[in-house]
Structure 1
Amino acid sequence: MSTSPKNLLRFGIFSTGDIAYTFTESLLKNNYGEEHQIQVVAVVSRELEKAQQFANHFSSKVTTTTETNSLQSPSPINPHLDDMSSEERSIKAYHNYEQFFNDDSIDIVYIASPHYFHYEHCKMALEHGKNVLCEKAFTINAKEAAELIELARKKNLFLMEAMWTRFFPANRQMMQLIKNGEIGQITHINVSLGFVGTKRQPSKDHRLYKLESGGGSLLDCGVYCISAIIQVVNGIGCEKVSKIQSLMNMDSQTGTDTQCSALIEFERFDSHTNSSQPIYATFHCSFVNEFSRILEICGTEGIIQVHNSFHRPTSFTLIKQGTSGITTKTYEFPKDYQEGSGFFYEIQHILELWKEHQIESPLMPHHETLAVMQVMDTIRQAHQFYYPKEHNH
């Protein structure tokens, strides 16, 4: 058996849903460079058969180190796999959570269970000394999020919401332009994300719609919109929400929301005028309508438009009004990964943090995760929309 390299990060996968498959595909089939090494060592599911299917699927993927895209000639995929023994390549399948979390070979747990159970599963992981990457929405409310953040800090463990949007090169370049004042003072932010849910998941028993799974458009789609807004306003030093007005449509059959729209007012102190200036942000999320999925950030000197699918951006346009008229510049960012629909950038960031022994991401910091949850709490409370376990508090 080969010795574990210094920068080896060993993942345990919690859940075997679609997103867990996509994420693990990205872990194992992309090249993260010679300085980083990844292993998937375990998976857990309430149904052992599903865990075994997952483990078998990816154990075979692990041994495939010579596959390439026929249109390219990329560098070897995860080249360190050739140095691993067959035992190191295998993935253990669990259906007992306690046994999974007691597995000493796991460095970090990727939580991909339904939103409703994120708090419970993250807490178990942290209490067992595991670092955690948890899918969005991070929890179902701010109280749960705050408790997990405090526990991670107390135990000196890594904890991050898996908001993959933050790590795309297009998003990082956009934020740099905003912080550099390229579009002046931010005045308005508009963002939307929606799809016809029944075309994807016709059964109302699916976790997207189930109250007992943390379902609803706000926690599933709205979280992307609100996170984008919070990222922009926090990026320019504005964190105070002064007012939220919202509309929400509820499904009488499921008890969860099908669409939501909101206007959020942020208060920013302007040192030039020695007064507070508002920033207005609007978002629309839906399970019953297809939306443009565009993020627009308006400033006193220009506009940034993130094109279709802002939540996984590959381009954006900078529009400026100058003395000679309107100028536009489009920034394009071709994908530089092979598998995983963009999870590559998120994983790459985690590997860098692991190498530097950092337990909190500067790109997805705890206080922004908490701010997103607080906005969603305020909106749900205004419409008396609560999840079952919230009635116990």
Structure 2
Amino acid sequence: MAEKTTVRWGIMATGEIAKLFVKDLLIDPATRGTHDIHHVVTAVASSSAKQSAERFISRIVAPVQAECTAYGSYKELVRDPNVDILYISSPHSHHFQNCMLALENNKPILCEKPLTVNARQAKTLYETAEKKGIFLMEAVWTRFFPLSIAVRQYIQNGLIGEVQRVYVDNSTGVDISKLGAAHRYLDMELAGGALLDIGVYPLTWVFQTLYHTRNIEQRVKPRKVVGMLAYEPVSGTDQMASVMVELPSSPAGTSTAHGVMSTSMVLSNDADGQQSAGTPVRIQGLKGEIQIIGPVHRPEGLRIIRPGECKTTHFDIPSGGHGMYWEADEAARCIRDGKLQSSVIPWSESIAIMEALDEIRAQNNYSYPEHIESTQYPLDLKKKAV
């Protein structure tokens, strides 16, 4: 049996996403068939108060492991010699500044999606990481699910023929009247709105089926991106997006393929919570289609439909986990193996997706505050992020 590698994590920010991630991180990897990696959390930092980090450790870390340091600033965290990699879960408005701070201190990074708010920032981060020889990965957790891996393999193996159309809807049905003005959905200072927060999931499905399944040398950026946005009237943040992306058919075709994606904060693609509305993802090839069962971001099963055949397969998420441990395993292996980027979400693809998001916003004259879009570093952002 191969020697087990222990990876020591530092957690930057203490919000709900960080809680889900750390709970998954501390589940015994053997319960999901991972025997070469062991995760520990050695430090947690909050930018607002050390007490927030202490509460996080007490409630999330301490029940599973001992000895974890709390910090009241990110600068202290990135200087901790007992941290091998940082998980950055601050709002995406702050990702560029937080990642630059980590890179400045030579810390490998797993940063929540979207990596940045625009492609210029993403390119700057990747260029910096390459120059300094530091691992950096966007935490697009859905890509690492065994279900997602299976879907990509089915397409590459030609199970449903050339894929020419992908439909995806990720709409959450939030009652905006119950959200405060400071909620991230409604705060321009946090780059709020539907497109960057929940719209990245439909684009992820479009890219991982129509772009990623082609050979590396055949991967090309979208020929066309056409998008429409609708806005929340008080905050001005986008609350609905409808987008079409044109790419070559996959896995090796030369015909045109369309990615048709939609997302909304106020509508729902699962109104009764029982999936009565049907699949939120349809991947259509010349020989059949693959339908995704369950939430777009956390799929639970798939259905393969071909002439004379309809087969459903469910994919369990082991040990009561949320499904975030698979991306952590990948990041740990990349660091162990001396890689700067993951082949599952390589830098070039991460940038291509961000460029598509930039194009959608440009077509709709939609921008965030200048300091949020800036590539200047260091820059003191007006809004604190926990």
Under a length normalisation based on structure 2, what TM-score does the superposition of the two structures give?
Answer: 0.87
Alignment pair present for 1:338 and 2:338? no
> After superposition, where does 1:217-228 map in structure 2 within 5 Å?
217-228=194-205
Pick from 9, 15, 39 the counterpart of residue 7 of structure 2: 9
Alignment pair present for 1:310 and 2:288? no
Q: C-alpha separation between the residues in 1 aligned to 2:310 and 2:292?
A: 13
Per-residue CA distance 1:166-218 (angstroms, 9 max, x = gap): 01111111110101111111111100101122379621311122100011100
Alignment pair present for 1:107 and 2:107? no
Q: Evaluate the alpha carbon distance shift between residue 35 and residue 244 of structure 1 in structure 2; reply closer, same or farther with a 3 A threshold.
A: closer
Q: C-alpha separation between the residues in 2 aligned to 1:167 and 1:270?
A: 19
Q: Evaluate the alpha carbon distance shift between residue 381 and residue 61 of structure 1 in structure 2; reply closer, same or farther with a 3 A threshold.
A: same
Alignment pair present for 1:165 and 2:142? yes
Q: Evaluate the alpha carbon distance shift between residue 40 and residue 392 of structure 1 in structure 2; reply closer, same or farther with a 3 A threshold.
A: closer
Q: Which segments of 5 or more consecutive residues in structure 2 lack a partner in the other structure?
A: 271-278, 376-386
Instruction: Give the CA deviation at 1:350.
Output: 2.4
User: How much is the aligned-residue C-alpha RMSD, in angstroms?
Assistant: 2.2
Instruction: Give the CA deviation at 1:330.
Output: 1.6
Match of 1:36 in 2: 37
Structure 1 range deviating more: 150-159 or 27-36: 27-36
Q: C-alpha separation between the residues in 1 aligned to 2:163 and 2:55?
A: 49
Q: C-alpha separation between the residues in 1 aligned to 2:250 and 2:303?
A: 28
Secondary structure at the counterpart of residue 143 of structure 1: helix
Secondary structure at the counterpart of residue 138 of structure 1: coil
Secondary structure at the counterpart of residue 297 of structure 1: strand
Instruction: Give the CA deviation at 1:360.
Output: 1.2
Match of 2:269 in 1: 291
Q: C-alpha separation between the residues in 2 aligned to 1:212 and 1:378?
A: 20
Instruction: Give the CA deviation at 1:267.
Output: 3.9
User: RCO (CA 8 Å, sep 6+): is it higher in 1 or 2?
Assistant: 2
> After superposition, where does 1:155-194 map in structure 2 within 5 Å?
155-194=132-171
- Contact 1:306–1:317 under 8 Å retained in 2: yes
Pick from 239, 255, 263 the counterpart of residue 277 of structure 1: 255
Alignment pair present for 1:98 and 2:62? no
> After superposition, where does 1:126-205 map in structure 2 within 5 Å?
126-198=103-175, 202-205=179-182
Structure 1 range deviating more: 217-226 or 40-49: 40-49
Alignment pair present for 1:380 and 2:361? yes
Pick from 56, 59, 63 the counterpart of residue 54 of structure 1: 56
Q: Which segments of 5 or more consecutive residues in structure 1 lack a partner in the other structure?
A: 64-88
Secondary structure at the counterpart of residue 63 of structure 2: helix
- Contact 2:291–2:304 under 8 Å retained in 1: yes
Per-residue CA distance 1:27-61 (angstroms, 9 max, x = gap): 11333455322211111112222111112223422
Instruction: Give the CA deviation at 1:328.
Output: 1.2
Per-residue CA distance 1:100-137 (angstroms, 9 max, x = gap): 11111111000000010001001110110000000011
Instruction: Give the CA deviation at 1:140.
Output: 0.3
Per-residue CA distance 1:58-79 (angstroms, 9 max, x = gap): 342224xxxxxxxxxxxxxxxx
Q: C-alpha separation between the residues in 2 aligned to 1:220 and 1:301?
A: 34
Report the AA paired with residue 165 of structure 2.
Answer: H
- Contact 1:58–1:91 under 8 Å retained in 2: no
Secondary structure at the counterpart of residue 263 of structure 1: strand
Secondary structure at the counterpart of residue 187 of structure 1: strand
Secondary structure at the counterpart of residue 25 of structure 2: helix
Structure 1 range deviating more: 285-294 or 175-184: 285-294
Alignment pair present for 1:320 and 2:306? yes
- Contact 2:113–2:138 under 8 Å retained in 1: yes
Identical aligned pairs, as a percentage?
Answer: 31
Report the AA paired with residue 29 of structure 2.
Answer: N
Per-residue CA distance 1:315-345 (angstroms, 9 max, x = gap): 1111112xxxx31122222222333x11122
Under a length normalisation based on structure 1, what TM-score does the superposition of the two structures give?
Answer: 0.85
Q: C-alpha separation between the residues in 1 aligned to 2:250 and 2:311?
A: 30
Match of 1:362 in 2: 343
- Contact 1:30–1:344 under 8 Å retained in 2: no
Alignment pair present for 1:329 and 2:329? no
Q: C-alpha separation between the residues in 2 aligned to 1:372 and 1:151?
A: 19
